[in-house]
Structure 1
Amino acid sequence: MSGKTVKDKSGFLAIGAYGGNQCVPFYRKGYPTLFVNTALQDLNSLKDVDEKYKYHIPGGEGCNKDRKKSKEIFRKDIDNIVNQIREKMPGIEYLFIVGSAGGGTASGIIASMKRVAMNDLDIKACPIITVMPNTKLESVKALINCYETLAEIEKIGEELGATFILDNDKNANKLRINEMFFCYLDALLSNQSSSVLGNVDNAEIEELISTPGMAIISKLGKDKSDTQQLISTFHNNIYAPMEKDKVIKYIGLINAGTGKEIRIEDIYEEVGVPLDCFTGFESDFTLCVLSGLSLPYEKMAEIKEKIDTNRDTIKRNLTAQRQNRLSDGLGFFDEVVQSEKPKEKRKSGNNRELLF
């Protein structure tokens, strides 16, 4: 079966190192993709990507987790970046903006980039794909960046486009998280399942990815497609934890069978009653999308608590670096040197050696 899918309308803007790694599988699958970075080394590491789809921001040498630096670099070059998107992804209707919430290059710009793209490009929505840092292994600076990035995403909440928030706490293998998410999103965007019992059509998939708020995608094989296993994927997955408030706007459910294996009323009981539920049948797998969820406020509160816990220690360390604790010793030898009588005149020579 062939025909137009949402995949044919979608492109990816990969920002920073994480954005590049996450988007390479989409690029290989034929999705229009532009890789943007302030660090040339990161772009050079993308060996399978044609150079014409890489854009190094002039003067950029990386942002070393500095969101302000990222904002300033992008601000100066934003018109060129927009032109690159137009040139490399003509005709797309959905632009997925992909970048890490905890890094430097992307965290400072992904929210603003969504607003710029919505205003300057002829597209319908800009879903965001981002990832939260591992709270046990990564730095306090990465946690601060993550908190501020999601606060900016919340601020532009009415701009069309879902936010997929992956979580590095969920799996020690970051690349495995990337691979799994690619499989889920690609299955949704390229869906062509067809059944006389009903289908989730392109317009409904577009509604799912256009709805503001957090979204998650679950996928199960035919042999595992039952209610309890599907509910389990809402919590044991690669995403930031769902809130318990049961706020939800849409559910998209593409069944592997005739729908008898999954009780939709049990799904409602678990996640909340949506405005609408788009349902399809007789697919090769079960795919479920929850869209219009609350942002992961409980997880962000935990991150803020960890930041606050380390605040005094960080301030003390920074203050200690600025203190001149040896200043009282300056001039200590002056009297000794002055009291000594020169025994002989130094021979002329290369005095520069005294500077080393």
Structure 2
Amino acid sequence: MRNKIAFIAIGQAGGNIGREFEKKGFQVLYLNTSKEDLDTLKEAKHKYHIKGGEGCNKVRKKAKMLLSEDFESIFEEIQQKLHAEMYFVIFSSGGGTGSGAGPMLIDLLSDEGKTVGAVTILPSKSDSLKAHINSYECFNELTAIEQMASCFIIDNEVTDKMTSNRIFADSFDRFVSIPEKFHSELGNIDTAEIMETLRTRGVAKVIARPQVGENYLDALKDNVFAPNEERAVKYIAAVLPEAAKMEDIVKEVGTPVDIFQTPGKSEFICCVAGLSYPQARLDGIYNFVEKNKDDVLKNLSSSSKIQMKSDVNFIDDFEKDTVKSTDDSKPKSKRDLMKKYL
């Protein structure tokens, strides 16, 4: 499965998650407008600096312009370095490079006939207003991409960033490894079913707990992903421990179109796909921006308004009067100055 799925990590946040996947043996290409950010990825195999980029300092439009001007070279880089059936573009929705270039790159690659999903990150409440604005604009674009595969939405409000990255990468890796590691006469999950689950349009979550016991349902609520309110789901694919029942999972997440399952001993691995986007969480981002908008506009406006007097430089006025008397004798250009010395 690691040969079938590849990751394109954009920006610094995307690069941090990408490193977790590369450590597990997945193909990863790192893209960034900042050479300095790329340089921090010391052991990364495939890195590409987007031409003309010096970082985007949270300006999404700048990232879009740079991507559009360099897309042919980026696409060639992807073709040469990554060989897979499915690609996931990883980026932060609140940054500049990833937020601006992420949705656009997914759309462009999908238009080239590739199967592309997303792994994106929501800002925490402590992140800046600009990060919240970027995130909301990013999701406006992301949700409009009709041909996109599954979208995993990591929520930085849940836990610290690096912990979330490791948990997600580990859970995803365990999920795609199911066909290799779990076999039973009672039923198996094959590679085609894993790929079908990940191809599903909409939001996906993947949860893995090595030792879960009877509290496996808690894992469906307590995870690194943004919460969903609607009980809409297309696929459930799961390794179920002895104490688990699929009907209880269905009660928790909703009735799917199809179920793929295989038994395990104490390990619980579950991917639910085709979920709705986290409306309440996105509304919260929008409301945060609206609540703070007037204060920020007032601050921006007041910072450019100040009463200044124009008659402070009496020295210049004196020198102007002095220069008038000798003005005709002074050189008027570089050529005149050179004539003076010739």
Report the TM-score, using the length of structure 2 for normalisation.
0.88
2:53 corresponds to:
60
| SS of the residue 1:102 aligns to | coil
Task: Please give the alpha-carbon distance, in whole angstroms, between the structure 1 residues aligned to 2:75 and 2:47.
Answer: 14
1:197 corresponds to:
186
Read off the aligned partner of 2:121 and give its amino acid letter: V
2:206 corresponds to:
217
Residues 165-221 of structure 1: CA deviation (Å, up to 9, x unaligned): 0011101x2111100001001111222211111011111111111101111111122
Would the alpha carbon gap of residues 141 and 24 (structure 1) be closer, same or farther in structure 2, given more than 3 Å must change? same
Task: Please give the alpha-carbon distance, in whole angstroms, between the structure 1 residues aligned to 2:3 and 2:175.
Answer: 12
- Residue 41 of structure 2 is aligned to residue 42 of structure 1: no
* Residue 118 of structure 1: how far off its partner (Å): 1.5
How many residues in Structure 1 have an aligned counterpart in Structure 2?
A: 317
Q: Unmatched 5+ residue regions in structure 1?
A: 1-5, 343-356
- Residue 19 of structure 2 is aligned to residue 30 of structure 1: no
Residues 83-162 of structure 1: matches in 2 within 5 Å?
Answer: 83-90=76-83, 92-121=84-113, 123=114, 125-135=115-125, 137-156=126-145, 158-162=146-150
1:254 corresponds to:
239
Runs of 4+ in 1 over 4 A off after TM superposition: none
2:263 corresponds to:
281
Task: Please give the alpha-carbon distance, in whole angstroms, between the structure 2 residues aligned to 1:216 and 1:293.
Answer: 8
**Residue 308 of structure 1, aligned match among 283, 286, 290:** 290
Task: Please give the alpha-carbon distance, in whole angstroms, between the structure 2 residues aligned to 1:142 and 1:10.
Answer: 29
| 8 A Cα contact 1:218 1:230, kept in partner | no
Q: C-alpha root-mean-square deviation of aligned residues, in Å?
A: 1.9
1:348 corresponds to:
none
Task: Please give the alpha-carbon distance, in whole angstroms, between the structure 2 residues aligned to 1:247 and 1:221.
Answer: 27
| 8 A Cα contact 1:13 1:95, kept in partner | yes
Residues 143-176 of structure 1: CA deviation (Å, up to 9, x unaligned): 01111111111111x21410000011101x2111
Task: Please give the alpha-carbon distance, in whole angstroms, between the structure 2 residues aligned to 1:162 and 1:116.
Answer: 16
Report sequence identity in percent: 33
| SS of the residue 2:205 aligns to | strand
* Residue 241 of structure 1: how far off its partner (Å): 1.1
| SS of the residue 2:183 aligns to | coil
2:153 corresponds to:
165
Task: Please give the alpha-carbon distance, in whole angstroms, between the structure 1 residues aligned to 2:66 and 2:266.
Answer: 46
Read off the aligned partner of 2:201 and give its amino acid letter: P
Read off the aligned partner of 2:18 and give its amino acid letter: C
* Residue 314 of structure 1: how far off its partner (Å): 1.1
2:72 corresponds to:
79
Task: Please give the alpha-carbon distance, in whole angstroms, between the structure 2 residues aligned to 1:85 and 1:106.
Answer: 16
**Residue 331 of structure 1, aligned match among 281, 296, 311:** 311
- Residue 218 of structure 2 is aligned to residue 232 of structure 1: yes
**Residue 247 of structure 2, aligned match among 246, 255, 265:** 265
Task: Please give the alpha-carbon distance, in whole angstroms, between the structure 2 residues aligned to 1:306 and 1:232.
Answer: 29
Read off the aligned partner of 1:274 and give its amino acid letter: P
Report the TM-score, using the length of structure 1 for normalisation.
0.85
| SS of the residue 1:107 aligns to | helix
Identify the range of structure 1 (212-221 vs 278-287) with the bigger mean alpha-carbon deviation.
278-287
| 8 A Cα contact 1:254 1:283, kept in partner | no
| SS of the residue 1:170 aligns to | coil
| 8 A Cα contact 1:242 1:296, kept in partner | yes
